[in-house]
Amino acid sequence: MKIKSLDALQIFDSRGNPTVEVIATLEDGTTGHGLVPSGASTGHHEALELRDGDKSRFRGKSVFKAVSHVTGEIARTAIGRDVFDQAGLDAALIALDGTPGKSRLGANAILGTSMAVAQAAANARRVPLYESLGGGQGTLLPLPEIQIFGGGKHAQGRIDIQDFMIMALTAQTYEETLEVTANVFHAAADVMRERGLLAGVADEGGYWPMFDRNEDVFDALMASIERAGYTPGHEVGISLDIAATDLFHEGHYTLGLEQRRFTSEQFAALMIEWVTKYPIVSIEDPMAEDDWAGWKIVREAIGQRCQLIGDDHFTTNIERIERGIVANTANAVLIKLNQIGTVTETIAAIHRTQAAGWLPVVSARSGETEDAFIAHLAVATNAGQLKVGSFSRSERMAKWNEVLRIQRLLGSRARFIGAGIFASAGIQLP
Ligand code: PGA
Ligand code: ZN
């Protein structure tokens, strides 16, 4: 089955910023859409999101050039190719771009195409996307990592730490993880309301962080878990994304809220202290992207008992993941399609992570769309974990809900191991 045409348009993400949608049409009329997400706390090693930079239009954020690259050069390369040869198409797009960071055509133009073709292939096969992407091997429903309080760049720096999240540790089913999360999410609103701190939500749907100290958030989070009727560290674990790259300037880490400044060793010690003090089961980007020595300190101290996820540290880039595996800086990798720019490279990053005995965590971006591609990607690859932001706003709920639908489609083939995924990577939660 051949690709007959590619179309593209500028649409808008969950922050109201322009992004790319690509529509692939096959020779039998089958179509597939790919909607590209967009980050705010982006790593320096990510593939390039091409924006027009014309300040007179959409504050410089329009993506008309990327759209025209899809309908021009990219379409000329893709048309006539076999829709089932995703790897061949993605390799051809990488070669056509010709730069290491996909900066000529734009990773947004390339990824939109790659996703649209993957979806068209599934539609042509008349199977769900997870089935097509995973070659029928994907059956594991993910353990969700769900934000309760948003911070960092997703809340205009109101607090320093980016994500305060929970994971349902004793849930026996995917539905039960959502029930636990819903209970904690709504209990958190009650706690914030009582404290006079309820003020809407941040970019990923978690409550706006009206706190004066980063550690006050732990207190509110523990109170919310308890208010919902759970014991922190038993039914519900705490999970953090420090997004430490954003806190690292000129050789120092800064917590602006408390006007505290840290060396790399001191900041690593703070991360280790928090893990001993609170029931934290996972920390993402505890150290800045290129602070390999800092990462090693944290990994050696707490890597046996806590998931340590590299996001900006690895940028879904197999070469950086490889370096991390050799240097043993983490034990998990955040997986974001648009950090690397093709479906094939994303799946290769997941497989490399799994081959090392590490854990992939499939993730959304802070700027999202209604596309639920990542729910399918998580199941297709048996990744075991999914991070989508909070439990509100439809661009987030679209993904959580899609996993419920996938579960129905899988029927008796569906598997759920929940927090059992940690033991599979040698992480023994205390
Ligand atoms: P981003 O945030 O999409 O703004 O990069 C998500 C994350 O850091 O995990
Ligand atoms: Zn992150």
- Tell me if 132 is assigned to some domain: no
Q: What is the pLDDT of residue 214?
A: 84
CA–chain centroid gap for 20, Å, is: 18
- Tell me if 137 is assigned to some domain: no
**In the sheet that 248-249 helps form, which strands lie side by side, from edge to edge?**
248-249, 252-255, 260-262
- What's the number of CA atoms in the CB half-sphere (13 Å) around residue 365? 30
41 and 167 fall within a common domain: no
Task: Give me ligand 1 centre to Cα 39, in Å.
Answer: 5
Task: Give me ligand 2 centre to Cα 74, in Å.
Answer: 30
Q: Which residues surround ligand 2, an ion (CB under 5 A)?
A: 241, 284, 311
Cβ–ligand 1 distance for 339 under 6 Å, the answer no
Q: What is the pLDDT of residue 361?
A: 99
- Tell me if 375 is assigned to some domain: yes
- Tell me if 166 is assigned to some domain: yes
Q: Which of 336, 387, 395, 399 is catalytic?
A: 336
- Tell me if 136 is assigned to some domain: no
Task: Give me ligand 1 centre to Cα 413, in Å.
Answer: 32
403 and 298 fall within a common domain: yes
206 and 245 fall within a common domain: yes
For ligand 1, what atom is nearest to the CA of residue 39?
Answer: 3
CATH number at residue 382: 3.20.20.120
Which ligand has an atom closest to residue 288 CA? 2
Contact between 142 and 400 (Cβ < 8 Å): no
- Domain of residue 217: give its range: 143-425
251 and 389 fall within a common domain: yes
Measured CA to CA, the distance from residue 82 to residue 376 in angstroms comes to 22
Q: How many domains does the chain have?
A: 2
Cβ–ligand 1 distance for 365 under 6 Å, the answer yes
Q: What is the pLDDT of residue 252?
A: 98
Residue whose token pair is 């096969």: 125
- Find all residues with CB under 8 Å of 400, minimum gap 6, and list them: 144, 178, 375, 388, 391
- Tell me if 298 is assigned to some domain: yes
Which ligand has an atom closest to residue 204 CA? 1
Q: What is the pLDDT of residue 215?
A: 84
Q: Would the pTM of this model clear 0.85, i.e. be above it?
A: yes
Pick the closest to residue 335 from 325, 343, 326, 324 (CA basis).
Answer: 343
Looking at 94, 126, 158, the residue that finishes a domain is 126
- Find all residues with CB under 8 Å of 326, minimum gap 6, and list them: none
219 and 192 fall within a common domain: yes
Backbone angles phi, psi at 108, to 5 degrees: -70, -40
Looking at 100, 126, 152, the residue that finishes a domain is 126
In the annotation, is 336 catalytic?
A: yes
Measured CA to CA, the distance from residue 60 to residue 48 in angstroms comes to 15
Pick the closest to residue 241 from 337, 166, 174, 180 (CA basis).
Answer: 166
Measured CA to CA, the distance from residue 406 to residue 139 in angstroms comes to 9
Beta-bridge mates of residue 385: 143
User: Within 10 A of 301 (CB to CB), how many other CB atoms are there?
Assistant: 16
- Find all residues with CB under 8 Å of 366, minimum gap 6, and list them: 15, 38, 39, 40, 41, 153, 154, 203, 204, 389
Pick the closest to residue 147 from 227, 197, 196, 217 (CA basis).
Answer: 217
102 and 161 fall within a common domain: no
Q: Which of 131, 204, 235, 345 is catalytic?
A: 204
Beta-bridge mates of residue 254: 261
Measured CA to CA, the distance from residue 371 to residue 33 in angstroms comes to 9
87 and 58 fall within a common domain: yes
pLDDT lower than 50: segments of the chain = none
- Tell me if 241 is assigned to some domain: yes
335 and 233 fall within a common domain: yes
Task: Give me ligand 1 centre to Cα 82, in Å.
Answer: 34
Contact between 29 and 3 (Cβ < 8 Å): no
269 and 149 fall within a common domain: yes
240 and 121 fall within a common domain: no
Q: What is the pLDDT of residue 291?
A: 98
74 and 163 fall within a common domain: no
pLDDT in tens, 163-209: 999 999 999 999 999 999 999 999 999 999 999 999 999 999 999 99
In the annotation, is 284 catalytic?
A: no
Residue type, 248: F
CATH number at residue 42: 3.30.390.10
104 and 211 fall within a common domain: no
Which ligand has an atom closest to residue 39 CA? 1
95-109 burial by CB neighbour count: b if 16+ within 10 A, else e?
A: ebbeeebbeebbbbb
Looking at 126, 155, 188, the residue that finishes a domain is 126
- Tell me if 303 is assigned to some domain: yes
Cβ–ligand 1 distance for 311 under 6 Å, the answer yes
pLDDT in tens, 202-249: 999 999 999 998 889 999 999 999 999 999 999 999 999 999 999 999
Q: What is the pLDDT of residue 6?
A: 98
